C-alpha cells in the first residue's frame, strides 16, 4: 500500500456516502492505519450533491484539507456524472468506481477521456437482492475496498461484522442483509476495458 491513499466520494444527500466514508475510515483504522474520514457540505438537503473524503496511511497524516488529487473516486449516483466534475484531479494511476448500469461507451464519453481504471457495480441490484431496499452505500463501500485493496476482503468482512453489530445494536435484524450486500458487492465489481 502507498504511504497515503486519498479517496473522494460523490453522492447525493441521503444516499449514505458520508456514512460509507466513515465506515471505511473505521475499518482501515482497525487494521492499524492512520485515517481521516470527513464530509463536505453546506446547507444541502436530501438529494443535493455532497462530497466526502478519506485519507488512509501507514504513517501519521499531517494534511488537513479537502482532497484535490485523489487516488480513487467513488460515484454513488451516476446522475452526477454529467453535472459534477467527478474526475477532476483524479490520478490516472488510480481508478473511479461508479454505481451504474450504463454502457462502457457512455461512461468513457462522460468521463472525458479519463485514462485510469474505470470500475462499475450495480449497487441497486446488490442492495435490492440483499436488503430489499435501495441503500447504495453498503455495496459501494465494498466496491472501493475491492478496487483500492486497502485491506484484504477477509479483514474487511470481519471488521464490518463487528462494526455493524455496534452500529445496528438496536436493529440486529439488518446486520445479515448488510453483510450479504458487502459479500455480494465484492464479487460484482467489474472493470471497464
Q: Which CATH architecture has domain 5-188?
A: 3-Layer(aba) Sandwich (3.40)
- Mean pLDDT within 146-150: 95
Do 116 and 93 form a contact (C-beta atoms < 8 A)?
Answer: yes
Element (H, E) at 121: strand 117-121
Residue 42 grid cell: 453546506
- Mean pLDDT within 78-90: 95
Measured distance between the N- and C-terminal CA atoms of the chain, rounded to whole angstroms: 24
Question: 5 vs 165, which has greater pLDDT?
Answer: 5
The pLDDT, as a whole number, for residue 43 is: 64
How do residues 40-60 score in pLDDT, each as one tens digit? 876 667 788 999 999 999 999
Domain residue spans in the chain? 5-188
Residue 178 grid cell: 448488510
User: Position of cell 485491506?
Assistant: 151
- β-pair partners for 34: 57
- Mean pLDDT within 20-28: 92
The pLDDT, as a whole number, for residue 89 is: 96
Element (H, E) at 185: helix 175-188
The pLDDT, as a whole number, for residue 5 is: 97
Amino acid at each position: 500500500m502507498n504511504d497515503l491513499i486519498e479517496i473522494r466520494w460523490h453522492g447525493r444527500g441521503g444516499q449514505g456516502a458520508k456514512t460509507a466514508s466513515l465506515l471505511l475510515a473505521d475499518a482501515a483504522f482497525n487494521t492499524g492505519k492512520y485515517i481521516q474520514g470527513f464530509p463536505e457540505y453546506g446547507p444541502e438537503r436530501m438529494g443535493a450533491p455532497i462530497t466526502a473524503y478519506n485519507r488512509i496511511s501507514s504513517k501519521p497524516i499531517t494534511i488537513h484539507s479537502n482532497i484535490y488529487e485523489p487516488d480513487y473516486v467513488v460515484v454513488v449516483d451516476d446522475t452526477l456524472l454529467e453535472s459534477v466534475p467527478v474526475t477532476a484531479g483524479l490520478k490516472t494511476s488510480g481508478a473511479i468506481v461508479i454505481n451504474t448500469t450504463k454502457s462502457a461507451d457512455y461512461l468513457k464519453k462522460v468521463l472525458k477521456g479519463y485514462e485510469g481504471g474505470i470500475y462499475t457495480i450495480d449497487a441497486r441490484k446488490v442492495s435490492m437482492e440483499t436488503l430489499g431496499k435501495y441503500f447504495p452505500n453498503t455495496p459501494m463501500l465494498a466496491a472501493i475496498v475491492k478496487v483500492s485493496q486497502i485491506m484484504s476482503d477477509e479483514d474487511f468482512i470481519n471488521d464490518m461484522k463487528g462494526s455493524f453489530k455496534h452500529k445496528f445494536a438496536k436493529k440486529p435484524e439488518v446486520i445479515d442483509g448488510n453483510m450479504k450486500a458487502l459479500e455480494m458487492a465484492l464479487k460484482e465489481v467489474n472493470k471497464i476495458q
